[in-house]
Amino acid sequence: MSEKILIASDSTCDLSPELIEQNNIKILPLGVSLGENNFIDGVDITPDDIYVHYEKTKQLPKTAAVNVAEFSAFFEKYVNEGYSIVMFTISAQMSSTYNNARLAAEEFEGVYSVNTENLSTGGGLLVLSACQMAKEGMSAKEIAEKCEQIAKRVDASFIIDSLEFLYKGGRCSALEALGANLLQLKPCITVRGGKMGVGKKYRGKFGDVLKKYISDQLGNGENLELDYVFVTHAGCDPQIVDACVEQVKSLVPFKNLFVTRAGCTISSHCGRNTLGVLFIRKTPLE
């Protein structure tokens, strides 16, 4: 009898409802607090709600990890139904969610927690890869181990039009934000070793910068896995998104290109005009 495998993720993977449904992925949402009000990511709050709240109050939300009890209840339900579970979470360096999942998983047989070392569709790439492995007959243990290796090759980055949200969230200084605005600098936020950092700083208008960024990221496509690529944005103008999609298509023949809207976590860190191209390389990132 073949192993029944359930692929699950916290809500930071930013996969679209269509991809979640098509692949039968289960999502455990993080909590989001706006002032004194508590919400559930993607259930009763959206990134646009965050933007409206910020415009009125200049307050950014706070996110809360999925706790051990929530993971335990989730694992118990599906283990009792005969499933082995591979659970993906946002980078352990960014949230306690992974550690909570790991602690809960220790209570059960056949439950594996994977630290994506990433956020947004950087983690989503691993989730989709896991779904494909399950279809190919790999065991839950094999899927978890393989995805931990692939995590080292996920290339996730975003261009941010304004440093306002990063500044308000305490992730850059007022001087850095002012200097970037005066010089029309658009930083590339990268994820390396499970942490967010600043990569190349581009100069110019947002749309023009995105063209340079995509060209730099994809190059000639030689070192890229071609199964999946995401164009993920936090609420950009549709014309800008469409132009980026067409550029990606013109540069590299990816088998599957998905356009996704970033959820509450990345949106609350970076703000509306944020866009990234995320994919898997053939070799680990330096």
Q: Which domains does the chain have, with CATH numbers?
A: 4-151 (3.40.50.10170), 154-281 (3.30.1180.10)
pLDDT value of position 268:
82
**252/268: higher pLDDT:** 252
Report the pLDDT averaged over residues 83-106: 96
- Tens-place pLDDT, residues 198-237: 788 898 899 999 999 999 999 989 999 999 999 999 999 9
Confidence class of residue 166 from pLDDT cuts 50, 70 and 90?
A: low
| Alpha carbon distance 126, 146 (integer Å) | 10
Cα torsion angle, 37, 38, 42, 47, sign? positive
Which one is predicted more confidently, 116 or 59? 116
Average pLDDT over residues 7-13: 97
Contact 208, 244 (CB under 8 A): no
pLDDT band for position 34 (50/70/90)?
A: confident
- What residues pair up with 187 in beta bridges, in sequence order? 201
The share of the chain scoring above pLDDT 90, in percent, equals 72
**Cα-based torsion angle of the residue sequence 44, 112, 143, 19 in order, rounded to the nearest 10 degrees:** -10
Please choose, from the candidates 37, 51, 68, the residue with its C-alpha nearest in 3D space to the C-alpha of residue 162. Answer: 51
Q: Which amino acid is at 76?
A: E
Q: State the average pLDDT over residues 153-158.
A: 96
Sequence-distant (≥ 6) Cβ neighbours of residue 144 within 8 angstroms: 86, 112, 113, 114
User: pTM of the entire structure?
Assistant: 0.93
pLDDT at 36: 86
For all residues of the chain together, what is the average pLDDT? 90
Helix residue ranges per DSSP H, the chain: 17-22, 47-57, 68-80, 97-105, 121-135, 140-150, 164-168, 174-182, 206-218, 238-251, 264-270
Helix (H, G, I), strand (E, B) or coil at 184: coil
Torsion sign, CA atoms 192, 193, 194, 198: negative
Q: Which residues of 133-146 are buried (b: 16+ CB within 10 A; e: fewer)?
A: bbeeebbbeebbeb
